[in-house]
Chain A
């Protein structure tokens, strides 16, 4: 599943910020991918929409792609969030 979410993220960043999908790796920081607070809001919205999950407002702010995908992963059905 993580690979799928990573692809989803890479496609979103390609469309929105023209980021090379090769740069979108779990260890990459969101800052270096030009993800600011507004873009993060949109990303969370996109994940919620695509995956049918609800991300709480009080999540610890993710620093890396891996952090972000971890938050989403935990909430996905069958992952026992």
Chain B
């Protein structure tokens, strides 16, 4: 650990496809309930789309944020700001818009930013013959819009940065905030990420990579099956999550509820291939997070895996876990919760970090849903299947491994 300052997780918030609150969401994760449904759309002049996906259909930006604010935001910013405000309330923090804090900041992640704004502009110009796009297109679409909205709404004057690291975006955003609090540059950071990737073009692009799981009305719910011998790929989703990170001593001083300690962060690059992950890069990231958190490898009792359910990715991640934990791997509980909430791209890291933190706090970790036939290549760890696992978990890792070879691992220590 770099310095003496410890970092507490004191607030959690999200916008999730079930439409309920944090407790409702985590309860469903523990019960192995999938939010994946068949996503169908028919656009004028375009081939109809029907793929399993995860959508936040009940999300009502106008009701949560009000009209004036919602109109100036792409959906990814609406989701993100709603999640951040929810985490803020969860942490019991005061209204700071009128009394800004220059020692509090934002660290956000998004993979695609305002892709819906861009797509609607292209459709207007190229399909509908319009000669121009709305004047807010730039500020709606830009990748740092969500972070800036959060900073403005909460009056946060320290660093406001956005990380775009594909599927690891919000995990990197969370990790990079750690040093800001340790160094004293900030005493509180709102961290997380958001993405709204279900535009026609984005879905088609992922389809063309042949990594999207197929399914129909009936089978869509079980389309994403990490570590399963019959896994068939990932499921795209939209969503947002946010956490409040605070200087531990200040959190204790203000009698905040502490969910867990954010203990360590590991960040590495595979430096080998754009899409094929590399066990060595992943192992280095896990070891780095453990060491950075002054943890012993033996203290890690749970891992929320990246587990996208691609043929190639899952066995490599399990091999990396076996490489780090050796003979003890069989005792390390692992689950891939994308089987339920899908792959929310830039938001997925924080959603999984929230699941990890709640698993430590509640001593209950969710299963990998629909893991009935374990792929032999993915064996060697304690896969949580069927039901949730109760355990006095001491510490946990949350893995995020992005296309491009960027690896980000977050290590949390139980606060109890």
Contacts and interface: CB of A to CB of B under 8 A. Distances in A.
A45 B134 CA distance: 7
Contacts of B71: 16
A30 to B, nearest CB: 15
Closest 4 A/B residue pairs (Cβ): A41-B135, A45-B135, A17-B68, A42-B135
Interface in B52-109: 67-68, 71-72
A38 interface: yes
Given A45-B134, A45-B135, A38 B67 contact: no
Nearest to A48: B132
A29 to B, nearest CB: 18
B252 interface: no
A16 B68 contact: yes
Contacts, number: 21
Interface in A58-74: none
Interface of A: 15-18, 34, 38, 41-42, 44-45
Given A38-B139, A45-B135, 14 more contacts: A15-B67, A16-B71, A17-B67, A17-B68, A18-B67, A18-B68, A34-B68, A38-B72, A38-B136, A41-B135, A41-B136, A42-B134, A42-B136, A44-B135
21 contacts: A15-B67, A16-B67, A16-B68, A16-B71, A17-B67, A17-B68, A18-B67, A18-B68, A34-B68, A38-B72, A38-B135, A38-B136, A38-B139, A41-B135, A41-B136, A42-B134, A42-B135, A42-B136, A44-B135, A45-B134, A45-B135
Interface in B124-139: 134-136, 139
B63 to A, nearest CB: 14
A15 B67 CA distance: 8
Contacts of A44: 135
A15 B134 CA distance: 16
- What DSSP secondary structure best describes chain A's contact surface? helix
Contacts of B139: 38
A41 B71 CA distance: 13
B122 to A, nearest CB: 18
Contacts of A42: 134-136
A18 B72 CA distance: 14
A45 to B, nearest CB: 5
Contacts of A41: 135-136
Contacts of B135: 38, 41-42, 44-45
Contacts of A34: 68
Interface string B366-410: 000000000000000000000000000000000000000000000
Contacts of B136: 38, 41-42
B20 to A, nearest CB: 29
Nearest to B72: A38
Interface string B166-207: 000000000000000000000000000000000000000000
Contacts of A17: 67-68
Nearest to A43: B135
Contacts of B68: 16-18, 34
Contacts of A45: 134-135
A27 to B, nearest CB: 23
B78 to A, nearest CB: 15
